[in-house]
Amino acid sequence: MEQQQRVYLDHAATTPVHPEVVKTMVPYFTEYFGNPSSFYQTGREARKRLEEARDRIARVFNADPGEIYFTACGTESDNWAIKGTALSRQKQGRHIITSAIEHHAVLHACEDLEKQGFELTVLPVDQDGLVSPESVRGAIREDTILVTIMMANNEIGTLQPIKEIAAICRENKVLFHSDTVQAGGALPIDVKDLGADMLSFSAHKFYGPKGVGLLYMRKGLRIANFLSGGAQEKNRRGGTENVAGIMGMAKALELAHEKMELESRRLITLRDYLIQQLLKRVPHTRLNGHPEKRLPNNVNVSFEFIEGESILLMLDHYGFECSSGSACTSGSLDPSHVLLAIGLPHEIAHGSLRVSLGQSNTREQMDKLVESLEQIVSRLRDMSPLYADYQKKKLTQDDK
């Protein structure tokens, strides 16, 4: 195998900024550089464009512009929604419900609150990674103030029944937040239809820039501020607005929604082809996440008997850029909490691979990837004492 051209297959971690988005942003660095809070023409011009971006984003989500709050990233949106709700509703109760497969931005925010005396219920998921709406209903107590369940999982791609969960929360007068960071730009989202109170987005997941995100907050809802400071965002989020980033996010979101239907269909075809080929051609492989209720671009598989990092390293050597789980946890040595939550044993969780497809990926790349993986998995298995054990056991069994 020769070193090939690099094939990026980690769009769940981040995406390249769309060239049109870059073109949109650049004038805001030098020409329309004003502080939107300023009074004079350069400031007013920035304000005008910022508010137009808010309008355009609101339109995409069928929201009111007043329901869109700009933040620095998905992590800030998650922290704000969760900690802001906790701080402002602690007199009504100190119980929060979440799921076992949330992103660390949600889980760690919840755990921060736990340390401060809040109680946490972490709902389990089934083997496909689904949270049951009835388990949400069952977990709601008198003192529950917030339910936070993600729309689409970043590792295994499973899509949750968010609309049903939102309805249950509404019935029970409990606030409902959903981390929609992975869904943003990938799935159609109509806030009125969905019925959630808060949603978190991050631009760099849909071909926008890093360092800008938003929190949708239903009209009339008031939670405590998180980033306190100036009067920006109607006094609810301080800090000079990242105008260039916000303009880029608006553009990226619009672009994603314009071609969503087509691109989504294309990705699902690619995704299912890759899954089918891997399951067929690489023995002892299992698919993680729900077979149908999953993000159009997500493939997550476990190869038994081998370890994930060594798979990634060989793939990288051959030019394929994938992940073994959440990019954020790559500093850690434990297997992904998501894979453990769907019931994978540790050793199988260790041998997992996430391929998240994007605009530039083709069927030809999928064929090459499968071919490379066939070889890589077989090489690593030849080195693996676990595989040797398995084969010996099988021989013994076959002898019987």
Partner 1 sequence: MRQKMQYSDKVMDHFMHPRNVGEIENADASGTVGNAKCGDIMKVDLKIEDNVIVDIKFKTFGCGSAIATSSMATEMVMGKTVDEALQLTNKAVAEALDGLPAIKMHCSLLAEQAVKSALKDFFEKTGQMTPEREELFKSLDDDAHDH
Ligand X SMILES: Cc1ncc(COP(=O)(O)O)c(C=O)c1O
Q: Should residue 154 be labelled a site residue for ligand X when binding is judged by CB under 6 A?
A: yes
Instruction: Note whether 67 and 216 are within 8 A (CB).
Output: yes
Structure letter (DSSP) for residue 360: T
Q: Rounded to whole angstroms, how far apart are CA atoms 340 and 324? A: 13
Q: Should residue 74 be labelled a site residue for ligand X when binding is judged by CB under 6 A?
A: yes
Check 73, 169, 322, 328 and give the catalytic one. 328
Q: Should residue 161 be labelled a site residue for a copy of itself when binding is judged by CB under 8 A?
A: no
Looking at 37-45, 51-59, 145-153, 293-301, which segment touches a copy of itself (CB under 8 A)? 37-45
Nearer residue to ligand X within complex by CB, 79 or 361: 79
Q: Given the rule CB under 8 A, which residues bind partner 1?
A: 44, 47-48, 51, 55, 65, 305-310, 313-314, 317, 331, 333, 335, 345-347, 350, 382-388
Orientation of helix 243-258 relative to helix 41-60, angle to 10°: 30
Q: Rounded to whole angstroms, how far apart are CA atoms 85 and 32? A: 35
Q: Should residue 328 be labelled a site residue for a copy of itself when binding is judged by CB under 8 A?
A: yes
- Least Å distance, CB 352 to partner 1, is 11
Q: Distance of CA 237 to CAs 81, 265, 332, Å?
A: 12, 37, 32
As a dihedral over the C-alpha atoms of residue 32, residue 34, residue 38, residue 42, rounded to 10 degrees, the angle is: -40
Q: Should residue 182 be labelled a site residue for ligand X when binding is judged by CB under 6 A?
A: yes
Instruction: Note whether 203 and 248 are within 8 A (CB).
Output: yes
For residue 328, indicate whether it is catalytic.
yes
10 binds, among a copy of itself, ligand X, partner 1, none (CB under 5 to 8 A by kind): a copy of itself
Instruction: Note whether 10 and 371 are within 8 A (CB).
Output: no
From the list 25, 46, 86, 181, which residue makes contact with ligand X (rule: CB under 6 A)? Answer: 181
- Least Å distance, CB 50 to a copy of itself, is 11
Q: At a CB cut-off of 8 Å and minimum separation 6, what does 379 contact? A: 314
Could you give the string, one character per residue 283-322, with x where binding to a copy of itself holds by CB under 8 A and - elsewhere? --------------------------x--xx-xx---xxx
Residues with catalytic annotation? Answer: 328
